[in-house]
Structure 1
Amino acid sequence: MGSQSVRYIFVIFLSLLLSNCKSAKVSKQLEKSLTSNFFDHQFTGLLVYNPRTKDTIINHNGERYFTPASNTKIFTLYTGLHYLPEKVPAFKYTVHQDTLIVKGTGDPSFLHPYFKDSSALEFMKNYKAIKLVTDNYNNEKFGPGWAWEDYDRYYSTERSAFPLYGNVVTISNTDDLDTYPKFLKSQTTYTLLDKRRDFNANNFYYKLDGKTSTEVPFVLDTTIVKALWNDLLPNRVEFIPYTTAKTDQVFYSIPTDSLFKRMMHVSDNFLAEQILVMASSTISDTLDADPIRKSILENQLKDLKQKPKWRDGSGLSNYNLFTPLSLVQVLEKLYAEIPRQRLFNFFPAGGVSGTLKNWYSGVDGPYVFAKTGTLSSASTLSGYLLTNSGEVLIFSFMNNNYNTSSNKVKEHMQAVLEYLRDNY
């Protein structure tokens, strides 16, 4: 062996040695931070993984189960990417003479206050008669473990087969009280109370508290659904319990990526729930999110080392249980399967967008692209971290059972991730 070869081998050996020493130092410091007095009074898990070197930098309770809150949406994103096409399937249909027979697919974008997509409505206007099938939805309107007292809050909107206006009324007060849809203005009044809607009736309230607008879920009873459809297409829509007609054609609406991005950036629970409902429409005429969750776990995610307890699409349920390791495994799959620019666009960017706009800002741009999660005594963050040395790390940081403010938890999480950014 020549002297040049020996020198080359020595340089490689030395660089690996230095790299391992650096990684060990970082791991030791991270472990020290997570056993400090602050984290000692709560249940914390952190797993950080380098997908390039396949090294685990730290595994602190990474195989323990936590309440994930909205980190659940990472699994929903993965499911949507595997089951849904490039454009959202708005509804299934067939045409019989001059009658359009329609089955809902769970598309949440139909006249949604953010997307304001009316393409499906314009298509329907071409027909004199529309028969809307009502028997193809097989889930409860609320998810298991959701808090009943959240009934009038946007983040607890009812799920359905054919959402209208995002299943909410948007109430605003610029020059005068206004609603979207305008049809519900007659059922909306001012109030001095915090209540936004009657418990089980579609009487809505707007409190003058400085907010320009508020979104209030409506009760999806037969009366309001028929009234809203009649307002859109007067005397054209008939509701039928079932049909023998083969509704095998599909009308598509907005790009699916725009739905994923909105769900992830603002942590939209309603969109997350409906994405799983829509995913079920691609394999069955019966809309049911439960078999879809089971299918993705038994097939595309069958290699997860810890199978999660996964009960809804949004993470609103306290029954959900995930480990940091399972979240990192799914994030690694996404990183391998989706081009980086497209993938990172789905996630809030630190200091720039969505739920991370006020956190994790970097001097040279965002260094964290991740999904937040917040419930009572649960604060989680999972995604991708860019180090100053140019590495992309995958991490899941989960905190449960703390008795302090979530902002205090976030401040300590940010300090840990900043250290990782600067020193790895």
Structure 2
Amino acid sequence: MVFRIFCCGLLAILLTNCKTAKLNRTLSSSLESSFYSEQFTGLYIYDIAKDKVLLNHNGNKYFTPASNTKIFTLYTGLTLLPDSIPSFYYESPNDSTITIQGNGDPTLFHPYFKDSTAYNLVKDYKHVNLVLDNIEDRRYAPGWAWEDFDSYFSPERSALPIYGNVVTVSNENSLKVAPGYFKEHMKIADDFYGRKEFENTFYYKKGRTKETEIPMIMKPSLVKVLLEDVIEGEVTIVKQGPSKPSELQYSIPSDSLYRRMMEVSDNFLAEQILILASSTISDTLSSDKARDYMLKNELKDLKQVPRWVDGSGLSRYNLFSPASFVQVLSRMYQEIDRDRLLQFFPVGGEFGTIENWYAGKDKPYVYAKTGSLGNNHNLSGFLITDSGKVLVFSFMNNHYKHSNNAIKERMETMFEWLRDNY
């Protein structure tokens, strides 16, 4: 009987090893094809239940991660922020005056969230004092492309965002502009839409109907004007005091913010999440402090310490390894309820940035975050095989001259083989 059990166990081990060896041979052969010969490619696959690395192809090398960086930002938010967003601190010495010090909450009048928490608190006060100088971050992070100043994906960072720090404009039946303050100043151009580089002068192309978001230059004087445009009271910009106001106001559920950031790969939300996270460990808002804290504490055991310079991945200064992404994804899978965790990620064939790729046969099998910059495309997340196994993976493609679709087609072929054969 003991001998039979031993033989069965040995057979199971041999079959498992054969399956792993076949996986390694098949995927390694694909990665060694001529298609990948003129680019830098990394693929790291981990079986979380067996605590086993199934494939490590350049997994310990550093890559430009693009928006895969948001995986680290998500983990930072989940680690440092409470269940609801700590929107701002306030103090009201009397019935007519209130002072507000922002924590970086991006949801006030945001085009998607349309949150009015701050508005509802201040709308009845005659005197509203705003503290806007409690932030160390510059408007852009290191390594952002200067020519993206008026691109929808590159709003400025700030302590007290408003309207998502963008002007939203459309002209389907009539010209619609939010914030309304800019409607009279919106210029219709023959062949251009965007903004002047150094001033808040906006242009919308004649004949265009599609909704467009154009980043604003977020000066304190503009925040004052925009808030005064919707409340009855007078707004004054004041200096940060020796201590912040004592009362903390919360806004939306934190998971709603994470889900939106990940689903559409929203750079602005990612940057502001790091700023929000810093408010829990410092009186001064600083995404640098949030990243440093995570790397020195929660992520001190990373096998490859990344060069992590922003929350969104817009910067080409970021450097991460596939193994590090798998390590953080695995930790999240072990620490967070599975259903809750997977709802943050785009779903192959269903929604988000991979809704047109990696569709399942009868149910989704890929839950993952994309990361794309010019000549770079990455995907990191979870793959659920037909046999029910959960694989954590990071597939990183850098410095290629193929089309993005050509890269994705080969990734999809490998993922489908994994799904069907492991």
TM-score by length of 2: 0.97
Paired residue for 1:46?
Answer: 43
CA contact (8 A) 1:94 1:245 kept: no
Paired residue for 1:117?
Answer: 115
Cα distance in 1 for residues equivalent to 2:113 and 2:13? 51
Other structure's SS at 1:364 match: coil
Q: In the alignment, residue 65 of structure 1 is paired with which amino acid?
A: Y
Cα distance in 1 for residues equivalent to 2:101 and 2:220? 16
Structure 1: gaps (5+ residues): none
Cα distance in 1 for residues equivalent to 2:419 and 2:39? 24
Cα distance in 2 for residues equivalent to 1:400 and 1:59? 16
Q: In the alignment, residue 3 of structure 2 is paired with which amino acid?
A: V
Deviation at 1:408, TM superposition (A): 1.0
Moved more, 383-392 or 175-184: 175-184
Moved more, 407-416 or 253-262: 407-416
* CA shift digits 1:121-177 (9 cap, x unpaired): 111124332111122011100110000000111111000000000000110112111
Q: List aligned pairs for 1:170-319, cutoff 5 A.
A: 170-208=168-206, 211-244=209-242, 246-319=244-317
Q: Percent sequence identity over matched residues?
A: 52
Other structure's SS at 1:154 match: coil
1:336 alignment partner, one of 307, 318, 334: 334
Structure 2: gaps (5+ residues): none
CA contact (8 A) 2:132 2:220 kept: no
Paired residue for 2:369?
Answer: 371
1:76 alignment partner, one of 73, 78, 84: 73
Cα distance in 1 for residues equivalent to 2:181 and 2:193? 21
Change (3 A) 1:172 1:126: same
Paired residue for 1:135?
Answer: 133
CA contact (8 A) 1:156 1:269 kept: yes
Paired residue for 1:96?
Answer: 93
CA contact (8 A) 1:187 1:202 kept: no
1:85 alignment partner, one of 60, 82, 87: 82
Paired residue for 1:352?
Answer: 350
Moved more, 342-351 or 226-235: 226-235
Other structure's SS at 2:16 match: helix
Deviation at 1:208, TM superposition (A): 4.6
CA contact (8 A) 2:66 2:314 kept: yes
Moved more, 220-229 or 149-158: 220-229
Deviation at 1:270, TM superposition (A): 0.1
Cα distance in 2 for residues equivalent to 1:274 and 1:286? 14
TM-score by length of 1: 0.97
Cα distance in 2 for residues equivalent to 1:221 and 1:147? 21
Cα distance in 2 for residues equivalent to 1:163 and 1:177? 24
Deviation at 1:187, TM superposition (A): 1.5
Moved more, 68-77 or 279-288: 279-288
* CA shift digits 1:318-361 (9 cap, x unpaired): 00000000110000110011000000000000000110110100
Cα distance in 2 for residues equivalent to 1:242 and 1:323? 39
Q: In the alignment, residue 125 of structure 1 is paired with which amino acid?
A: K
Moved more, 368-377 or 184-193: 184-193
CA contact (8 A) 1:90 1:110 kept: no
Pairs aligned (count): 421
Cα distance in 1 for residues equivalent to 2:243 and 2:331? 40
* CA shift digits 1:176-211 (9 cap, x unpaired): 111111111111122232441111111111125655
